[in-house]
Structure 1
Amino acid sequence: MVTNRKLSLEPSQIKFKGKTIGYRHLQCLLISLTFGLLFAMRVNLSVAIVAMMDNKGANPNFPEYAWTQKTKSHILSSFFCGYILVQIPAGGWARRLGGHLLLLMSITMSSIMALLTPFSVNLGGWPLLCALRFCQGLFQGVTLPTIATLMSKWSPIEERSALQTYCYSGAQLGIVMMLATSGVLCSSSWGWPSTFYLPGVLGLLVAILWFIFGASTPRDCKHISVEERTMIEESLGHSKKSDEIAPQHAVPWKKIFTSKPFLVLLFTHCTNNWCFWTLLTQIPSYINSVLGKDIKSNAMLSSLPYITMLALSLALCPMASWLEKSKLLNATVSRKIFNTIGHWTPVISLVSLGYLRPDQGDLAVALLTITVTINTLAHFGYAVNHLDLAPNFAGTLMGIANCSSNVMGILAPLVVGFIVTDTTNIYQWRIIFSLAGAISFSGNLMFLIFGTAKVQHWNEPPRIVQETEPLKGLVIDVKKTDDEAEEGDVRV
């Protein structure tokens, strides 16, 4: 009795022969630009809402809204309420419909809704604004599972962490673009509505580029060279037959939710997002209320940590790619080293933030910059682990993890709204920063103990055990899968 398996080399045994720059890098660039503008539409409200609630210092020609801190928290959280709903099914949609179509739909609809935001808030106030942000969250909910699915088809194993980090760096690009320009935009003749118009228009332009040049897989791409396509497929161990069968491979839900490496990844992802979204949604308010900066300097200071984060992320990509190609570090060791630096170093700066005096504004900005910048190293850690554990289900794993972790995007602003009743009270902010630091520490501790970069057995479809030659006197079960077939299945 034998199985119908074919002998194959492990990824680590395959010599990498890819060109330095290829069409896969153009795909990463398009994904990065798309992701950046989607993120810009996600975070623009964090700065715009400061001007919307206090417009005298920005542009008095536009309306001002007397919203309470709790109402503000509801508005900031509404996006995530829609965002988390489609995370889990999005991975399956990307496998069946193709990542190209889903990402195109996401950027197009999000851009249209961004353009409609100023009109909606003037028409229906904060309830209609919450409803629009909820719908925008629905369309952006497919983004990360789709990117994970695209990268599982486009990124060679030897370039996995670098290419995915290039894609994720679009988030910092979008944040920088939005935070750095929002102060000027709010004070311009266009007022705070321009913080929604700018990313909306740019998003539609990028949608056109993605429609023309984007592709779900190398085989679907008309412009890629045969050599580069072959190199990618050989690195990933793909064949035409296996690619056609993969979408019909049922998701092993039970094995996923009982997999210790994935559960640890899920927990680490959640703890990272608590820290990330606490800072991203609250830095403008902290700088405005505690440090007393105006809207222009607020926007520039808020963007500074993400400028350095983007620069460090792009600078480290070649080094991470070299480490993977040279095989100097085991993948698991590499993930844990980068994740530890990215999670535990910011713990010190986060806790220190809560013990600064209001007159130590420069030091506060420096600590915020260190906290956000160093966290970018986690992109080479837990953020790539979905592709490590199960390349065939990378989108589904990312959808599950991102759904759970973005609950933090809902809870974090609500917790801030509950604890920080007086935004000028540094002692209340101390609780927020200390809590974020403790959560970040615990996430990486679990990843260090239980995390791994090994491909899990449930990544591959079950293979049928076949009888190659009838043997007299033996009864053989021929319909059992690899997991079920054991020596005990052969009976005299």
Structure 2
Amino acid sequence: MTAEINKGPALGQRHVQAFLLFLSIVCNYMAKFNVGVAVVAMTDSENTNPDFPEYDWNEMERSYILSSFFWGYIMTQFLGGWLCRRYGARITMFISTIGSALLILLPPVCVSWGGWEAYCVIRVCQGLFQGLLFPCIHAHLANWCPVNERNRLGALANTGIDCGTLVAMFVSGQLAASSMGWPGIFYISSVFGIVWCVVWLIFGANTPRECKFISEAELNYIETSINANRKEEEVKEKSRIPVPWRAIWTSVPFWALMIVRCCQSWGYSTLQTEMPAYMNGVLLMDMKSNAIYSALPYLTSWVMAFVYLIVCDILLTRNIMSLTGIRKTVNTLALWIPAFALIGIGFLDSNQKTLAIVLMCADVGINAGSTIGSTINTIDLSPNHAGILMGIVNTAANVIPILTPLLVGIIVKDNHDRVQWQIVFIISAVVFFVGNLVYILFGQMTNQPWDAADFLDKTQTTKLQEEGQQAKAIEASENASKTSDNNVEKTETS
């Protein structure tokens, strides 16, 4: 009979760390995606509090604002992975969040004299800070998640994406229509980020061994589970494990992950940034209704994230499906069903608001499965290099949100033209479909050989051995040639 494993308290520090990661994503996503509602409020005072300034920005200028965050965001993904390896997630995530939280205070002050250009500069700087975040989150999960709880804790942390977007959409719309007006959107987002930073400095810890609040039983359980009984000096040694860049960039499973994350980013970012404009222009909803109904899909997504989490946890713990089967099945549901729903949305108008909202809720809600389906695949491929992998993948995936608002700005010349929006949604649907197909064919959910700490040493040893064997073979060939030449000379002399 198998002895019961002592996992420590039912609600342990690994759960606290996952919850803190969840909150970090929520507050950063509030600062990141409140722009969708803020831009609508700042350019249409009739549907919000009219006591605050209104700006006459055209569609292209609004598109620049929506995409500008990602100009900075893609620049610091690698830096985030490096800083996390060098200094740990605790300080790096603090810098990332506090920088973003302080910058979000600036638009109400700066836009009045700097216009949309000033807002773009602020958003670029926000992106620079937030680019450090996700590589740290994945590295932190790799340090804290027991192998059999990786799905559960990783998915729990990443539900912050849906919750943060939900809060950004709903609260931003309510604030814009309140006595605080659209400036309140920025002030509340900033306060939430600053409060999180204080809590994180108290309870955040880079590893279980560095945590002041963890029990001995939970510490042993986590370290034994992930086969990493690291003392302090061993933890430091991990930061010196060389990154096998060539092996990573030539890895087919890694490329499959990067492609599917880019395709996921295309469809999701289109919905995140453009939904308020679509609902205002095509469905003719006012700001308050717009905010409520823009938030509904993300409420559905947040709920569905837990549904996926519970179902997948049961399938995995009861050995009903393998991890590979779960990831690919869930990711297929998460991308292919929304692909068809997106096409359907484009054919609806203001007379079919209810159906449009239902389809948007289904679209975003079902897409929540992509977290379990592919987002945390970085940890499957390489726990040792999870932060670096996330830095690469997130850099590539977040080039996409730079392009999608600009593409919308090119295609959608009239915000009320349903046909123009149809083109936008059909393109996103095709991208969703193709990306998941690549992941089904080439994705893997197992540790890759290049994850090993001594991978480069073994590769170098093998290379030297091969070179030695080649040198011996050449030497033997030369000796044989010399012997043959000597025999010929002796024959001729005779």
Q: TM-score, normalised by structure 1?
A: 0.91
CA distance in 1, matches of 2:212, 2:43: 50
Gaps of 5+ in 2: 474-494
1:170-198 superposed Cα distances (whole Å, 9 cap, x missing partner): 12111111211222211212110001111
CA distance in 2, matches of 1:483, 1:268: 33
CA contact (8 A) 1:75 1:129 kept: yes
CA contact (8 A) 1:16 1:235 kept: no
Aligned counterpart for 2:68 among listed residues 74, 78, 82: 78
Distance 1:377 1:106, change over 3 A: same
Q: What is the identity, as a one-letter code, of the residue corresponding to 2:163?
A: L
Q: What is the identity, as a one-letter code, of the residue corresponding to 1:378?
A: S
Q: How far apart are residue 346 of structure 1 and its match?
A: 0.7
- Structure 1 residue 481 and structure 2 residue 461: aligned? yes
CA distance in 2, matches of 1:16, 1:340: 35
* 3-state SS, counterpart of residue 67 of structure 1: coil
Q: How far apart are residue 245 of structure 1 and its match?
A: 2.2
Query: In structure 1, what is the equivalent of residue 321 of structure 2?
Result: 329
Q: How far apart are residue 484 of structure 1 and its match?
A: 6.1
CA contact (8 A) 1:77 1:409 kept: yes
CA distance in 2, matches of 1:444, 1:239: 37
**354-363 or 238-247, which deviates more:** 238-247
Aligned counterpart for 1:135 among listed residues 118, 125, 142: 125
1:102-157 superposed Cα distances (whole Å, 9 cap, x missing partner): 11111111111111221111231111111111001000001110100100101111
1:88-127 equivalences under 5 Å are 88-127=78-117
CA distance in 2, matches of 1:44, 1:119: 17
CA distance in 2, matches of 1:217, 1:14: 27
Q: How far apart are residue 271 of structure 1 and its match?
A: 0.0
Aligned counterpart for 1:18 among listed residues 3, 7, 32: 7
Q: How far apart are residue 317 of structure 1 and its match?
A: 2.0
* 3-state SS, counterpart of residue 109 of structure 2: helix
- Structure 1 residue 377 and structure 2 residue 369: aligned? yes
| C-alpha RMSD of the superposition | 2.3
Aligned counterpart for 1:205 among listed residues 171, 195, 198: 195
- Structure 1 residue 179 and structure 2 residue 145: aligned? no
1:211-230 equivalences under 5 Å are 211-230=201-220
1:156-171 equivalences under 5 Å are 156-171=146-161
1:423-463 superposed Cα distances (whole Å, 9 cap, x missing partner): 11111111011100000000000000011101111111226
**296-305 or 83-92, which deviates more:** 83-92
Distance 1:56 1:479, change over 3 A: closer
CA contact (8 A) 1:463 1:481 kept: no
CA contact (8 A) 1:164 1:384 kept: yes
Q: How far apart are residue 358 of structure 1 and its match?
A: 3.0
Q: How far apart are residue 15 of structure 1 and its match?
A: 8.8
1:289-347 superposed Cα distances (whole Å, 9 cap, x missing partner): 00000000000000000001101112332332333333332221111011111111111
Distance 1:381 1:483, change over 3 A: farther
1:327-373 superposed Cα distances (whole Å, 9 cap, x missing partner): 33222111101111111111111111112233111111111110000
CA contact (8 A) 1:111 1:200 kept: yes
Distance 1:246 1:489, change over 3 A: farther
CA contact (8 A) 2:6 2:217 kept: no
CA contact (8 A) 1:16 1:158 kept: no
Q: What is the identity, as a one-letter code, of the residue corresponding to 1:258?
A: T
Q: What is the identity, as a one-letter code, of the residue corresponding to 2:127?
A: G
Percent identity among equivalent residues?
38
Q: How far apart are residue 57 of structure 1 and its match?
A: 2.4
Distance 1:360 1:392, change over 3 A: same
Q: How far apart are residue 489 of structure 1 and its match?
A: 6.4
Q: How far apart are residue 409 of structure 1 and its match?
A: 0.6
Q: How far apart are residue 43 of structure 1 and its match?
A: 0.6
Distance 1:256 1:463, change over 3 A: closer
Query: In structure 1, what is the equivalent of residue 426 of structure 2?
Result: 434
CA distance in 2, matches of 1:173, 1:342: 17
Aligned counterpart for 1:65 among listed residues 27, 37, 55: 55
Q: What is the identity, as a one-letter code, of the residue corresponding to 2:413?
A: T
CA distance in 1, matches of 2:74, 2:342: 27
1:226-255 superposed Cα distances (whole Å, 9 cap, x missing partner): 111111111111122653322111111111
Distance 1:452 1:70, change over 3 A: same
- Structure 1 residue 248 and structure 2 residue 240: aligned? yes
**94-103 or 326-335, which deviates more:** 326-335
Q: How far apart are residue 464 of structure 1 and its match?
A: 9.5
CA distance in 2, matches of 1:15, 1:245: 32
CA distance in 2, matches of 1:254, 1:360: 52
Distance 1:455 1:464, change over 3 A: closer
Q: Mark the structure with the bigger radius of gyration.
A: 2
Q: TM-score, normalised by structure 2?
A: 0.91
CA contact (8 A) 1:35 1:171 kept: yes
Q: What is the identity, as a one-letter code, of the residue corresponding to 1:450?
A: F
Query: In structure 2, what is the equivalent of residue 44 of structure 1?
Result: 34
**401-410 or 231-240, which deviates more:** 231-240
Q: What is the identity, as a one-letter code, of the residue corresponding to 1:331?
A: L
Query: In structure 1, what is the equivalent of residue 342 of structure 2?
Result: 350
* 3-state SS, counterpart of residue 392 of structure 1: coil
CA contact (8 A) 2:140 2:206 kept: yes
Gaps of 5+ in 1: 1-12, 466-477
Query: In structure 2, what is the equivalent of residue 264 of structure 1?
Result: 256
CA distance in 2, matches of 1:59, 1:213: 39
CA distance in 2, matches of 1:430, 1:347: 13
CA distance in 1, matches of 2:5, 2:127: 39
CA contact (8 A) 1:154 1:218 kept: yes
1:414-429 equivalences under 5 Å are 414-429=406-421
CA distance in 1, matches of 2:295, 2:459: 59
CA contact (8 A) 2:110 2:118 kept: yes
Q: What is the identity, as a one-letter code, of the residue corresponding to 2:354?
A: D
Q: How far apart are residue 162 of structure 1 and its match?
A: 1.6
Q: How far apart are residue 59 of structure 1 and its match?
A: 1.4
Distance 1:16 1:308, change over 3 A: farther
* 3-state SS, counterpart of residue 454 of structure 1: coil
Aligned counterpart for 2:181 among listed residues 173, 191, 195: 191
Q: What is the identity, as a one-letter code, of the residue corresponding to 1:103?
A: M
Aligned counterpart for 2:143 among listed residues 153, 160, 174: 153
